[in-house]
Amino acid sequence: MEQTFNKSEVVLVGLSEIERRSWKQKYPLLEPITDLEPTLWLNSNIKEEQHIPELPLTKEDMYEAEELWKRFAPFLKKAFSEVEETSGFIESPLKSIDKLKPVLENYYDFNIDGKLYLKSDNELPIAGSIKARGGFYEVLHYAEKLAIENGLITYDGNYELFLSEKFRSFFQQYSIGVGSTGNLGLSIGIMSATLGFNVSVYMSADAKQWKKDLLREKGANVVEFSGDFSEAIYAGREETLADPNGYFVDDESSKHLFLGYSVAALRLKKQLEKMNIKVDANNPLFLYLPCGVGGSPGGITFGMKQLFGDHIHCFFVEPTHSPSVLIGLLTGEKDQISVQDFGIDNRTEADGLAVGRPSSFATSISEHLISGIYTVEDDELYTMLTMLADNENIYVEPSATAGLLGPKYVLESAYIEKHDINTNNATHIAWSTGGDLVPDIDMKQFYEKGKSFLA
Ligand SMILES: *Cc1c(COP(=O)(O)O)cnc(C)c1O
């Protein structure tokens, strides 16, 4: 398809040298950030539980979102063999990574007080990434809304009907669009095509070829862009909304994606209970969440804070070349500012995190809830990928390893003392966000690259 959008409309102009200098004077941390140095930022706007202002979502919204998943379970079970055994339930395991822990500590020269776990969303069925939570949820939510409004189903009806010819031909009248660096497009494309929607995925230059191929195979229309994620989103939004029956999944502002992610908290709580992992004042829980637009880490943080309050400490992690949420929250400008404004190129091999501008919806919530953000270099992502493979036999994509460095940054920082946290019995969970669909040949390249750094 021809690209019909005038590039000058979407190219980000950037701040003048004088403006940049004035921002840096106000926030000196911008200096190492723009120099692309790994940096830890602690959020001074974090609010204690009883002081959190009213948020645009509630705990009840999260429980309602979980109900939607339950209603669709029979449909999912029938549509996807991957979740037949789990009765249509899409969830990932929480794994202890005791063998990796000493290797990490030794290589990066630090000590992890407490235990280290991996929340293995790289294994999430069907989409192979954390986008199975937000992306699938938003498509299912939209499909349900249309079906209810048009009298095709009731909330207590048989949701296997969503696979029927009648439903499919109904959904064929509607189109869904999404802008994506890759994984979101995969999740939206797969679920939309399964339901019969006309789905178009607008992909940025850094999206991998195999993701485009897989989407086309599933029946999605793939529109490729030479520019970055913001450009793909901009164009996708315009084109999708030009169709009166068009629905755009907007990663830069979506409430539904956010809610879909938040349900992970309810699931994780159950897993923690099952594994006898306590969370209270003497047993703090640290979460390290790879961050792109901030939707998935924001939704999970929101959910966990609703359930555990001040005993949860959530840190986001971004590539040194794409610190969009970091700059947005540090300056307070949120989605009004981008990494390009500061001359940062947004070029990273962590394609799931290659985002130059944060989500407005997610950051407006995260600003009160997250403990901080740190950045990592791409080379470390590969190094940890190979370490994880060698020591735990777990294979993930580069983005997904970013959380593993969390304890190094956080335990040595002023955060622990400032909040008077007893870390002896701490639990650290690095959220592993993707990997299962990566073709073997690509995974081998990732692995070899990390191996070369370890040599
Ligand atoms: C999308 C994605 C993230 C980050 O999620 P956001 O909602 O963009 O912040 C992290 N890791 C992987 C593998 C992803 O695909």
pLDDT in tens, 301-330: 999 999 999 999 999 999 999 999 999 999
Q: What percent of the chain has pLDDT over 70?
A: 97
Q: Which of 371, 353, 453 is nearest to 407 (CA)?
A: 371
Tokens (6 digits) for 56: 């645009």
* Local confidence band at 438 (pLDDT 50, 70, 90 cut-offs): very high
What are the b/e assignments for 238-265, b being 16+ CB within 10 Å?
Answer: bbbeeeeebbbbbbbbbbbbbbbbbbbb
> So what's the pLDDT on residue 12?
47
pLDDT over threshold 60, residue 47: yes
> So what's the pLDDT on residue 13?
58
Which residues are paired to 144 by β-bridges?
none
Please, what is the Cα angle at 324 between 365 and 349, to 5 degrees?
A: 125
Q: In whole angstroms, what is the distance from residue 216 CA to residue 219 CA?
A: 5
Distance 18 CA to ligand 1 centre (A): 33
Q: In whole angstroms, what is the distance from residue 52 CA to residue 127 CA?
A: 34
Q: In whole angstroms, what is the distance from residue 366 CA to residue 374 CA?
A: 15
Q: Which of 301, 421, 306 is nearest to 373 (CA)?
A: 301
* Local confidence band at 84 (pLDDT 50, 70, 90 cut-offs): very high
Distance 230 CA to ligand 1 centre (A): 15
pLDDT in tens, 1-38: 333 333 334 444 589 999 999 999 999 999 999 999 99
Q: Which of 117, 110, 116, 113 is nearest to 409 (CA)?
A: 110
pLDDT over threshold 60, residue 428: yes
Please state which CATH class domain 13-57+89-126+276-454 belongs to: alpha beta
Please state which CATH class domain 78-84+128-255 belongs to: alpha beta
Q: What percent of the chain has pLDDT over 90?
A: 89
Q: Give residue limits of the domains in the chain.
A: 13-57+89-126+276-454, 78-84+128-255
Determine whether the shortest distance from the Cβ of 434 to ligand 1 is under 6 A.
Answer: yes
Ligand 1 atom with minimal separation from the 355 CA: 8
Cβ-based neighbours of 131, under 8 Å, separated by 6 or more? 183, 184, 186, 187, 188, 296, 434
Q: Which amino acid is it at 433?
A: T
Residue 289: what are its φ and ψ, rounded to 5°?
Answer: -120, 115
Distance 384 CA to ligand 1 centre (A): 18
**Among 183, 261, 289, 326, which is best to mutate for testing ligand 1, by the most ligand atoms less than 8 A from CB?**
183
Q: Which residue has its alpha carbon closest to ligand 1 atom 14?
A: 352
Q: Which of 316, 362, 300 is nearest to 335 (CA)?
A: 362
- Identical fold for domains 13-57+89-126+276-454 and 78-84+128-255, yes or no, is yes
CB-count exposure of residue 110 (10 Å: 0-12, 13-18, 19+): middle
pLDDT in tens, 192-231: 999 999 999 999 887 889 999 999 999 999 999 887 778 8
pLDDT over threshold 90, residue 181: no
